[in-house]
Amino acid sequence: MTASTLRSILTINTQALGENWHRLQAQAPQTPCAAVVKADGYGLGIVPVAKALWRAGARFFYVAHFEEALALRQTLPEAEIAVLNGLVAEPRAFLEARLRPVLNSLPELEAWGRLPAPAPANLHLDTGMARLGLDDDEQAALLQRPAMLKAMQRPFVMSHLASAEEPQDPSNRSQLDQLKAVTARLGLPVSFANSSGIFLGPDYHFDQLRPGVALYGANPTPGQVNPMRRVVRLECPILQVRSLPQDRAVGYNGTWRSAKPSRIATVPLGYADGFSRQHSNTAKLFWQGQPVPIVGRVSMDLVTLDLSDLDASQAPLPQAGDTLELLGDQQSVDHLAQSAHTIGYEILTSLGARYERRYEAA
């Protein structure tokens, strides 16, 4: 391991990842639990993430892009790997790497049927996202020509929920009803529930769970206690601490001014690290359990924090070289997301490439 060079440190707990997979599997012990590892394992690094999930017991993996699937095949030679974005490469290229497309239209199903023999594939039915998958007319046409399904070996029919994290939203039930009506006539295994969908109950489980974000520690049940273990910690070392007289501006465009003599700390964390400029003057880091507000604009490589309200009787005040926590026990990805009016998914997938990344199993 290289010596620390005062970069922010992103620690990814592969043990917690595996445990989260088990916790999701335990919600439906009879239903195999796949793992969605698109976008570089939700920003955490697909190779260590996929290895940890495989060790935990996951055997079926979803990515978005064909290239992600090719790379994952190198890491997991035995896994089932499905490409959500569809038949985005030549069918033969899928076969050669033993990848399965998620067929998103009737023409894609037809193209798969032109292979010399049935090959593994998923078939995606749109039940309310209007994004990918067979639309209502295509589903009706398929029911007239069920022989088309013979193109698929070890098939899964799948659909995706639009509002699973809002259990009261009536669209969940209407998507479920449509999926049940069609799949009852197709007679094939079904995959429906994403992370939050798993917590909508057994009606939503079918034959395969398909979680992503909850594996990485985000809360699949917003408003309730997070049933998942925390996976990421992000710590930022203080480069400098300075004393500021009253009524001085901090950062680009002077969007914050000191109301009193202040202590300002600067840490290596910026929008080039995926730390959104939306966090300017709103987000907090933590020192020994106490919040430290970001003051001024988030800049490309740095943010500035106001140490002035820390309680020195609780813990010695932080100095240059000390480390503040951005993500960890004090602040979850979901909580940080709120200050930038976004979601934990975006916090995770924006985690930058310049952090020192450490993988630990604890």
Ligand X SMILES: *Cc1c(COP(=O)(O)O)cnc(C)c1O
Question: Closest approach of Cβ 284 to ligand X, in Å?
Answer: 26
Query: How far is residue 290 from each of residues 3, 16, 160, 230, measured CA to CA in Å?
Result: 28, 25, 40, 19
Q: Is 359 a catalytic residue?
A: no
The one catalytic residue among 204, 252, 260, 284: 252
CB under 6 A: which stretch of 4-12, 200-208, 209-217, 274-282 binds ligand X?
Answer: 209-217
SS3 call for 328: coil
Name residues contacting ligand X, limited to 141-180 (CB under 6 A): 160
Minimum distance, C-beta of residue 193 to ligand X, in the bound complex (Å):
8
Residue tagged active-site, from 38, 42, 284, 359: 38
**Which residue stretch of 16-24, 204-212, 292-300, 304-312 sits at the interface with ligand X (rule: CB under 6 A)?**
204-212
Within 13 Å and on the Cβ side, how many CA atoms surround 38? 16
Q: How far is 49 from 259, CA to CA, in rounded Å?
A: 46
Among 37, 46, 81, 84, binds ligand X (CB under 6 A): 84
Q: Please give the residue whose beta carbon sits closest to ligand X in the complex.
A: 212
23 binds ligand X (CB under 6 A): no
Query: In terms of DSSP bridges, do strands 323-327 and 303-306 run parallel, antiparallel, or are they unpaired?
Result: unpaired
Please select the residue that binds ligand X; options are 12, 50, 82, 213, rule is CB under 6 A.
213
β-strands 303-306, 262-267: how paired?
antiparallel
Residue 307 C-beta: closest distance to ligand X, Å: 36
Q: How far is the CB of 35 from ligand X (least distance, A)?
A: 9
Confirm or reject binding of residue 212 to ligand X (CB under 6 A): yes
Under DSSP, is residue 81 helix (H, G, I), strand (E, B) or coil? strand
Residue 195 interacting with ligand X (CB under 6 A): yes
Q: Give how many residues touch ligand X by CB under 6 A.
A: 11
**What type of residue is 272?**
A
Strand partners, 293: 284
Give the pairing of strands 60-63 and 35-36: parallel
Of the candidates 108, 120, 110, 195, the residue with the CA atom closest to the CA atom of residue 152: 120
Which residues from 174-193 bind ligand X, rule CB under 6 A?
none
Number of helices (H), then strands (E), in the chain = 11, 18
- Residues that are catalytic: 38, 252
Binding site for ligand X (CB under 6 A): 36, 38, 84, 160, 194-195, 210-214
